[in-house]
Structure formats: C-alpha cells, structure tokens
Amino acid sequence: MNALVATNRNFKLAARLLGLDAKLEKSLLIPFREIKVECTIPKDDGTLASFVGFRVQHDNARGPMKGGIRYHPEVDPDEVNALAQLMTWKTAVANIPYGGAKGGIGCNPGNLSVSELERLTRVFTQKIHDLIGIHTDVPAPDMGTGPQTMAWILDEYSKFHGYSPAVVTGKPVDLGGSLGRDAATGRGVLFATEALLNEHGKSIAGQRFIIQGFGNVGSWAAQLIHESGGKIVAVSDITGAIKNSEGIDVPSLLKHVNENRGVKGFSGGDPIDPNSILVEDCDILIPAALGGVISRENANDIKAKFIIEAANHPTDPQADEILSKKGVVILPDIFANSGGVTVSYFEWVQNIQGFMWDEEKVNNELRTYMTKGFKDVKEMCKTHDCNLRMGAFTLAVNRVARATVLRGWEA
C-alpha cells in the first residue's frame, strides 16, 4: 500500500474518531497549493539540460509550511503529496507552529557536478522565491540534498529579499544553522523511546535493540542508545547486515562505517541476510531506512515487543493489524521521528531572534518537547480508547481542525 493511501486512511480514521464534519474533513485533505516549474541550466559541457522542480504546500492553518526538498530521479507526485500531508500532522503532534510541505527536483544528483547542482538549485530558487519565505514556507534538506544545498537557496533567496537566514533550516552552522541539528532526529528517537519505555516501567539500559538502516538517523540513534546502556544486537544498511547477540561495539562500528562506507565486513559481528534483520530476536526494533519494510509477509515473524518508527511509513496497515493483535507496541513515525523538524523549528526561532543557543539548550528543549508530545499522545489514546498511531493522528488532526475553524476557514 503506498504512502498516500495509508496516510489518507489514518487521517480518515482519526477524523471519524473526532467526529469531524464531512466538509471540514475534505478541506483538510486538499493541498493549499501545488507548484511545478521548469529548471533549465547549462551543463559543464555547454549543453542545456531541463529538470522539473515542484513544491506541494499542504496546510498553513497553524503557521508557515515546512518540509524537505529532495533531489531524486523518481519523484512520484502521490508520494510528495503524502509526505507534505504527513508534515502537517507531524508538526501538529510536536506542537510546533507549522503546517506541512514537501518538494524537490526530478534529477539524479550523482550524475551532476557540484557546479551543476549549484546552478540547478539557484534556478529552482529563482522560480519559487516568491512562494517560499520565513513566514510562508520554510524548506529543509531531504534525500539527495544537505547543508550546502540550503546555503545556495539562502544565498539566492537573499538576493531578492535581503539576508534571510530563517528561510531554510538544516543550514551549515556558519550560516545560522543550529548546533545539535545533525543528531536531532536520532536524539529524538532516543527521547521518544525513553518516554515509551518509562510508561511500561522499563528503561533503555539492558534492552536489546535492532536498528535497520544506518544512515544519519540510524547511526545517531545507535550511538545515543549505546551511551544510555542499551544493547545493539543487530544493524543493517544497504551494504549488508551484522549481528552480535552480546551487543555490538557501536564506536568501533561507526569508525568502520566511516572508513568503509557501510557496515559490511565489520569484524565485531557475524554477517546475516539483510532481509532477515527485522525478524531477529530483540526487545526493540527500530526501522530507520525506507518505508513499507514491515508488511503482512514478515509481521508474524517479528519478535520485538516494541517498534519505534524512525523511518517514514515503515509499517503498512495490514502489518499494523497483525502486530497489534500480537500485542506489539508501535510508536508511530509522526511522533517518533519528529526530533528533526523540532530542532529545525529551534533553528528558525534562533535565526528570527538573531540569538543562537548552545548545544545543551537545544538538546534540553528537544527532550522537553518530545516528553510533552508523548504525554499528549497518551492523553488522546485514553480519550478515544485507541493505539498510539491513532492517538498521534487524532491529536494532530484535532489541532489542525481547531486552528482551521478558529481562523474562519471551514467550508
């Protein structure tokens, strides 16, 4: 089931639980604006190349829209719509004053030189500069983009609007990026896991973790969980998977991954089939890679008691049902991985104030937001007698619906 169908399904279930009227329900789903632009650049060899850039702005009832920009060859409009909508719910769960957006350029960044990527980013910014803005829509990095991309967007935008560091987040620290942003999603996963385990009378120390995906989020989560006394028993990435039931030495693994561009060949664990990692024995499973990895094919074989969704949409709805019947507790993506967008909000706040925080303040504020977020989700679970995913969705949809009605926008 694709991401858009699943997101719409969760939204409709939440709307039903909340008793929203049909008109309001419909208006909350329709995107505020969809933008599509042609970006033509001279390549290094002098020939011209054209790419399609786009931005879906989903909702701005609670504040400016917020979401990533990805550079990827297969940009599926349905998926972008789903991710923009997901950002509306994610920012509402985190209780930060944003709505959702998503965008990007259909290109293969690996086939473009750095100067071609810079030209492409600047042309894209020229085409959308009057549709984004500090109080309108604040982009961030996503697949295939990073701090350097944000620096180019900031510079190009500033040519039209004056120096505006708050127009994008995920910037280099030298241009107003926030300390702690790099680790933010992984650290948020740690705080979310702590809050969930606390509820069940457990702590991170001594629990056995499996982490599927060892990119930015997975590697930071592994490092921080390891530092908190958790035992990482298996890890995988695109190169392969390793297992060590005594617990993997995470600092050595991080060193190996930096030197060899992947976990494959790490001597501190036995190689296993990457496809079997989700069903290995553990207490807590953290999917931190792609969507749709937990399906009805493998849900019955999962041994974890808790699943923390660090990736977007890793569990499909049929798997959700199978797992909840088994009593597995799933902490949903729209809460579990919201650490990144929360620290992006802190970055935006610091830029607007022109006053930067130290890293300790960033991490403490993040802990406060994640802990409060979990409490709010649990309250909704009690009110509507539902699981954590529906608790998070009802919390989010309710906040957006209330803002929409208060602003006099309901149809």
66 is in an annotated binding site: yes
Q: Tally Cβ neighbours within 10 Å of residue 11.
A: 22
Structure confidence at residue 409 (pLDDT): 85
C-alpha 190/C-alpha 308 separation (Å) is 10
pLDDT digits (tens, 9 = 90+) for 149-207: 999 999 999 999 999 999 999 999 999 999 999 999 999 999 999 999 999 999 999 89
- 280, 302, 335 - which closes a domain: 335
CA-wise closest residue to 321 among 379, 389, 384:
389
pLDDT digits (tens, 9 = 90+) for 72-131: 888 778 888 888 999 999 999 999 999 999 999 999 999 999 999 999 999 999 999 999
Residues 42 and 74 grouped into a single domain:
yes
Please check whether residue 215 lies inside any domain of the structure: yes
Q: Which two tokens stand for residue 149?
A: 């991309």
Please check whether residue 259 lies inside any domain of the structure: yes
Contact 279/204 with Cβ under 8 angstroms?
no
The CATH number covering residue 267 comes to 3.40.50.720
The CATH number covering residue 146 comes to 3.40.50.10860
pTM for the model: 0.93
CA-wise closest residue to 102 among 135, 123, 132, 130:
132
Residues 153 and 233 grouped into a single domain:
no
Residues 122 and 229 grouped into a single domain:
no
Please check whether residue 14 lies inside any domain of the structure: no
- 301, 335, 369 - which closes a domain: 335
Please check whether residue 341 lies inside any domain of the structure: no
193 is in an annotated binding site: no
Structure confidence at residue 2 (pLDDT): 72
Residues 292 and 320 grouped into a single domain:
yes
Residues 158 and 237 grouped into a single domain:
no
Residues 206 and 311 grouped into a single domain:
yes
Please check whether residue 372 lies inside any domain of the structure: no
| Averaged confidence pLDDT in the chain | 94
344 is in an annotated binding site: yes
Catalytic positions are 102
Q: What share of the chain is helix, strand, coil (3-state, %, to 5)?
A: 50, 20, 35
216 is in an annotated binding site: yes
Task: Give the total number of structural domains in the chain.
Answer: 2
- Using 50, 70 and 90 to split pLDDT, how confident is the model at 47? very high
Please check whether residue 343 lies inside any domain of the structure: no
Residues 36 and 96 grouped into a single domain:
yes
Residues 210 and 268 grouped into a single domain:
yes
- 335, 352, 376 - which closes a domain: 335
- Judge whether residue 232 has pLDDT over 60: yes
Domain that holds residue 149: 30-164
pLDDT digits (tens, 9 = 90+) for 119-149: 999 999 999 999 999 999 999 998 889 999 9
145 is in an annotated binding site: no
